[in-house]
Structure 1
């Protein structure tokens, strides 16, 4: 069974520090305080989303199809990952023309378009 270093403390949710690294080949051990990489901080669902995102080369339509989720949900998941990686997520200004084009092309539903236009997503 593959075990990964958790991205946060399973008890309190605090930041994790790795204190020992061991080589599988030569058995050398290095001790100290090592921070996790940014991507290690992602939870399993976020890692899966990133994998699907990369596999589909960021094509939102394909990501929607594979995950069975809507355009706004894909955007929300992407914003969540961006935030966990330590970057500021700025909500773009509402582009009514773009939203209406997505609705016309069948990329989003009427309900999703209404939520986007009202700024609730």
Structure 2
């Protein structure tokens, strides 16, 4: 399976999920579902977050694993945190408009 897109390729707006399907029994659930924040991250950002969790949040361990300096890994984490915070703000703003 390929990564689910979270941004419209035509206008770059946030996509929503309209239908979920069970491959086992064929059941389909329809509605207007938001894409989880984690899935809106790039594949590289998702891999970074997964490594961070596997390292129990140890930036020192992350730095050793990635071969980067501690400050570089800290900056990478801060960038992901900032992106997640912005996405959450946009999601809250979207809910307030509805």
Normalising by the smaller structure, the TM-score range is: 0.7 to 0.9
State the 4+ residue runs in structure 1 displaced beyond 4 angstroms: none
- Work out which of the two has the higher radius of gyration on C-alpha atoms and give 1 or 2: 1
- Deviation, structure 1 residue 67: 0.9
- Deviation, structure 1 residue 26: 1.3
Unmatched 5+ stretches in structure 2: 87-98
- Deviation, structure 1 residue 84: 2.4
TM-score by length of 1: 0.63
Between structures 1 and 2, the one with greater helix share: 2
Unmatched 5+ stretches in structure 1: 88-121
Query: What is the alpha-carbon distance in structure 2 between the residues aligned to residue 8 and residue 80 of structure 1?
Result: 19
How many residue pairs get aligned? The number is 86
Matched, 1:46 2:48: no
TM-score by length of 2: 0.75
Cα deviations by residue, 1:37-77 (Å, 9 ceiling, x for unpaired): 11111110100101111111111111011111122221121
